Structure 1
């Protein structure tokens, strides 16, 4: 179980080599991963050695700890973990699995003397294990969008949750607040930061702009979901006005979804703060600003984040061997489901404008983590509120499955598929439904759901597009990536 406290890790940390790397600390409900990814990509493009810590891991535990966007080796992870566990046993601190992982990450970054580190909070902020980092290591703290999630641990209102998350603020250090849906968040956060003695900074919003061939190159091909000739949605052209960027910053953002413009806005406000705030600039390399100005567009363009509105091609063998398009998204709460639903609606609008498209077969494969008081209805109801096509006929199906419990976290369990199915029946009428077993073997449920999702296809169907959306839990997305890796190793 999650046991939020700094007591155990606070007793153990002094017995390990001290942590001193210049660090950006990232809290929030939604968008933390995307923000860490864009930020790290800009640092890397600017020639810095970059450590990044994200949780939960995707397919293996060392995925949480990245050096220059590459997972650390199992050997490196095992070596440092053994040292942390040995210290834990020697001093009888009995730290949790996540606390061990956090200390392993910090020890790896310290050992390799990386130039800069980006650390994502696990849950909350004030009592999260990552908040053990000393004040002197923190460049700045930031807070992405705040919404209801983990209420059992963080409080039942957005204001209480915001207070917990903003409590990573540090004295005499900047604190950057991202764009918020809930107006109450800013006052709460501003108060926490001021009481801490930090510097509150509000994010300046980047703007969408039209595609400009002189800046962006030739326009992208027309969007198509057909897996054989798949053409992804175009990059999002943005412009950002700030005194540190002469003549404004124009860039292309390849992360999917309108919400990513808000995440990018937060990142760019962070970057401008690192370049100008005295407490930050003194810790960065002397030529940091020059490097950023030369390379920031490449950093934004190169940012990718698996499992967040990510398109993939998957081979299926039934009823006819072919390739299908899969959209993987770890939407696990109401706010992220609303984001996914909005994105799917945009895809439908784009496809509706394609005169060759007649039918969209849209299948959701869903699993959820058991996380009271959050209910399946809370998370899933936004998914089925998408708009219909005008000329496009949309055929919707839903499969409910369970996921494999993540390594080292046996307490994380799936909501029974029968409960997901009950929510689907209440939310959408006329949809095809496939429900995996609530008990017994989990292995094979995702594969069976994919087989069911693609069983209707016949040869020679003109104008029929298929999209399978794997969502509801990042742990299900991880199962999908493991399946994809097996397929790439052993093609059909």
Structure 2
């Protein structure tokens, strides 16, 4: 169940003793790129000796993967111990917190028990009413807002202005904010308006700063902006960090499931979590440059929502499309895999009908050497398992 609001999680954290107030934090929102920015920040801090907690969502393989200390997932035992305590308190006090609210509370409590100095927190959905938006201004070093695009319109609004208003809700009074300077003008206007209202010094970087190179960051043209947001955020919060210290942290960054090459038998395939049209555009750019010159692409896809706008960005005549689905998610039963028949119907608009097929499970796919797996992080979860 998705039920945005802060009342339940605030009460739950209060019963826990407000663990989120026991360390400093970076808070990151956005539609695309926020996971990469969180990873850059966590890597830079960890490399430079800052004991760092990291909370991201959704988890990639196991629940504990979403909560890291110094870039390493916590143990299953620690996760279960804290989650059970949080769930018990939720029941005992009849708080009725949602699953994500309890996950966020678990992360905040783990970070207190593990005595982190800084927590890097990724917003789950939106920002203003997201369960992570309980961080106090006194503890937030910097907020960051990545690329904003259409996604989750049913919860955040049907216009970019409405969506940006929700994302900008993480901006804290008097706390610096870094926003991706390549956002649409209407998005930046909203962010600037909120920043001005809250007396938050706003930075809007465009491109990597002088002295930084694409060799130091993750693959993909769009990573220039994600890295720029991370570098500016760190520079604001830790002016004592030299360029060399930051670059080494960038070089050590990993972020599974985003433009990641993996070995499947004797073939290397590209996997990416692109699940909305704007992310698909960036994936298509990468594929155009690095894969299309070789041969048509085989797309292995599953989605949790209508996919026509995504496939329109990816699939070209001559490409093959293999539609599949992912299984149910115990912690998020409301998320359902789109019927592969619906995917095939959309795919036939962009490539020959004979090139469109479906399989029941991604494990049944025979991979060639020019394959991309994308459409949902939940599909990648099944692949990695």
TM-score for both structures, normalised by structure 2: 0.95
Quote how far apart the aligned CAs of 1:198 are: 2.1
Q: Give the Cα separation in 2 of the matches to 1:408 and 1:143.
A: 27
Quote how far apart the aligned CAs of 1:404 are: 2.0
Quote how far apart the aligned CAs of 1:117 are: 1.1
Quote how far apart the aligned CAs of 1:170 are: 0.7
Quote how far apart the aligned CAs of 1:254 are: 4.2
The match for 2:279 among 336, 360, 369 is 336
Q: Give the Cα separation in 2 of the matches to 1:405 and 1:52.
A: 26
Residues 44-88 of structure 1, C-alpha deviations (whole Å, 9 max, x = no match): 111111110000000111110011111111100011112212221
Q: Secondary structure at the match of 1:434?
A: strand
Quote how far apart the aligned CAs of 1:275 are: 2.8
Q: How does 1:45-84 map to 2 (within 5 A)?
A: 45-84=47-86
Q: Give the Cα separation in 2 of the matches to 1:189 and 1:265.
A: 17
Aligned 8 A contact 2:145 2:167 in 1: yes
Residues 1:405 and 2:328 aligned together:
yes
Quote how far apart the aligned CAs of 1:300 are: 1.2
Residues 1:471 and 2:368 aligned together:
no
Q: Give the Cα separation in 2 of the matches to 1:68 and 1:430.
A: 48
Aligned 8 A contact 2:231 2:246 in 1: no
Quote how far apart the aligned CAs of 1:447 are: 1.6
Residues 1:381 and 2:317 aligned together:
no
Residues 1:200 and 2:202 aligned together:
yes
Aligned 8 A contact 1:22 1:137 in 2: yes
The match for 2:226 among 259, 263, 268 is 263
Q: Give the Cα separation in 2 of the matches to 1:81 and 1:126.
A: 25
Query: Which segments of 5 or more consecutive residues in structure 2 lack a partner in the other structure?
Result: none
Q: Secondary structure at the match of 1:132?
A: coil
Quote how far apart the aligned CAs of 1:251 are: 6.7
Quote how far apart the aligned CAs of 1:196 are: 2.4
**Number of matched pairs:** 383
Q: Give the Cα separation in 2 of the matches to 1:188 and 1:431.
A: 47
Q: Give the Cα separation in 1 of the matches to 2:182 and 2:86.
A: 38
Quote how far apart the aligned CAs of 1:250 are: 5.1
Q: Give the Cα separation in 2 of the matches to 1:250 and 1:434.
A: 41
Other-structure match for 1:253: 216
Other-structure match for 1:296: 246
Give the alignment's Cα RMSD to 1 decimal: 1.7
Residues 343-388 of structure 1, C-alpha deviations (whole Å, 9 max, x = no match): 1001136xx4xxxxxx535211000003xxxx31122210025xx9
Q: Give the Cα separation in 2 of the matches to 1:400 and 1:204.
A: 37
Other-structure match for 1:447: 363
Quote how far apart the aligned CAs of 1:172 are: 1.1
Other-structure match for 1:308: 258
Aligned 8 A contact 1:398 1:431 in 2: no
Quote how far apart the aligned CAs of 1:39 are: 1.2
TM-score for both structures, normalised by structure 1: 0.75
Q: Secondary structure at the match of 1:131?
A: coil
Q: Give the Cα separation in 1 of the matches to 2:163 and 2:133.
A: 16
Other-structure match for 2:339: 416
Q: How does 1:164-203 map to 2 (within 5 A)?
A: 164-203=166-205
Q: Give the Cα separation in 2 of the matches to 1:265 and 1:326.
A: 28
Q: Secondary structure at the match of 2:372?
A: strand
Q: Secondary structure at the match of 1:162?
A: helix
Quote how far apart the aligned CAs of 1:24 are: 0.2
Q: Which runs of 4+ in 1 moved over 3 A?
A: 248-251
Aligned 8 A contact 2:182 2:206 in 1: no
Other-structure match for 1:147: 149
The match for 2:298 among 360, 363, 386 is 363
Q: Give the Cα separation in 2 of the matches to 1:250 and 1:133.
A: 33
Query: Which segments of 5 or more consecutive residues in structure 1 lack a partner in the other structure?
Result: 207-239, 242-247, 277-288, 316-322, 353-358, 389-394, 438-444, 455-465, 483-492
More moved, 8-17 vs 70-79: 8-17
Q: How does 1:3-22 map to 2 (within 5 A)?
A: 3-18=3-18, 19=20, 20-22=22-24
Greater Rg, structure 1 or structure 2?
Answer: 1
Aligned 8 A contact 2:272 2:374 in 1: yes
| Alpha carbons of structure 1 residues 151 and 127: separation in structure 2 relative to 1, 3 Å | same
Task: Considering Cα pairs closer than 8 Å and 6+ residues apart, tell me whether 1 or 2 has the greater RCO.
Answer: 2
Aligned 8 A contact 1:17 1:107 in 2: no
Other-structure match for 2:43: 41
Q: Give the Cα separation in 2 of the matches to 1:89 and 1:348.
A: 52
Q: Give the Cα separation in 1 of the matches to 2:296 and 2:160.
A: 37
Quote how far apart the aligned CAs of 1:180 are: 2.9
